[in-house]
Structure 1
Amino acid sequence: MESTPIPDRPTFPNGYGVPATSDGLLRWDQVEPRLRQAQHYWLSSVRPDGRPHAVPRWGVWLDGRFWYDGAPTTRHTRNVEANPSVTLTLESGTEVVIVEGESHAARAEPDDLGARLAEAFDKYAASGYSPTADSWSGPDGGGLRVIAPRRVLAWFDFPTDCTRFVFGAGSAS
């Protein structure tokens, strides 16, 4: 279920030049296409001993969430099983999109979500990855995971358009 997030200004220390008004805030329809169109994402999680872990991931933004898959034995999957809090970022350091949320195991039936995910994952076909609609319907969900965003930070012209999008009852700090 997709929801439209509420935009406002993120909190930065004095001296960064982030405007105090809402003039110039990004709109969600300017940010979300970048999440859909990206080929490479960085997923950051926390190891059980508290050390950070970052890994590049393929995935798709669909229905207001990030969907990805992989073996349950990977370091990042073991991390999020213990602590589901994650950060997902795109590659650019100038057109920035940072998604904060939680990663959870999921399943997708082939006649609905599975078909739509397979179509979205088609962006990786030229790289040799072409999952089918039934790839995530087995008992273990084929390793499918979903990140539901709590908050997204974005800017394309720092500091004038720094925007925080809050989803649902997410924290605004």
Structure 2
Amino acid sequence: MQTELDGRYSDPTAAATPWDTARERLAAAPLYWVSTVRPDRRPHVTPLIAVWHAGALHFCTGAGERKARNLAGNPGCVVTTGTNALREGLDVVVEGTAQRVTDPARLQEVADAYVAKYGEEWHFDVSPDGTFAGDGGPALVYAVAPETAFAFAKGRYGQTRYSF
């Protein structure tokens, strides 16, 4: 992995945000925004919850939902998290390819991670068909491992790029 501070968008005294710091922010964030591309090439953005597990962000969605239909045609996506505060905090953007997760053991690990992070309200059972079963019906699970990521430090502004 390569880490690089972009001086064009950073305070002269800023330092690159270490990947460990950005990854911790990804793991701890309560809410994320996933951006996908519709078949007609228009963007689609929606908030969701997710968990960091085994080097990737994992989220789930119903097969008929717009983001799942978009990912079926174009698995490239962007996942963003951070704060709406202007002068404090850290925003993180992950660009990657959404990979469907169907392995029962890995799905169980992700289901356990959801409960550990969000509580029993977000308990999922793993179905034999490689989906999560929950109150909303079957859900497809996706993993997005970073291909490129950015950290935007605020206060002392710094833009860090990570290439994997």
Alignment pair present for 1:119 and 2:115: no
Hey, what's the Cα distance between the residues in 2 that align with 1:158 and 1:82? Answer: 39
Hey, what's the Cα distance between the residues in 2 that align with 1:149 and 1:69? Answer: 17
Contact 1:108 1:141 in 2 (8 A): no
1:81 Cα deviation (Å)? 0.9
Q: Match of 1:144, SS?
A: strand
Q: 2:53 aligns with which of 59, 62, 65?
A: 62
Alignment pair present for 1:139 and 2:137: no
Which residue pairs with 1:162 in the alignment? 159
Which residue pairs with 2:137 in the alignment? none
Hey, what's the Cα distance between the residues in 1 that align with 2:55 and 2:26? Answer: 9
Alignment pair present for 1:130 and 2:123: yes
Alignment pair present for 1:6 and 2:2: yes
Share of identical aligned residues, percent? Answer: 28
Deviation by residue 1:4-38 (Cα, 9 ceiling, x = unmatched): x32013485xxx4555x9x6111111111111111
- Uncovered stretches (5+) of structure 2, i.e. residues with no partner: 133-139
Q: CA RMSD in A?
A: 2.2
Hey, what's the Cα distance between the residues in 2 that align with 1:7 and 1:129? Answer: 34
Give the TM-score, by structure 2 length. Answer: 0.81
Which residue pairs with 1:36 in the alignment? 27
Hey, what's the Cα distance between the residues in 1 that align with 2:150 and 2:70? Answer: 23
1:14-25 equivalences in 2 (<5 Å):
16-17=9-10, 19=12, 24-25=15-16
Contact 1:10 1:153 in 2 (8 A): no
Aligned length: 152
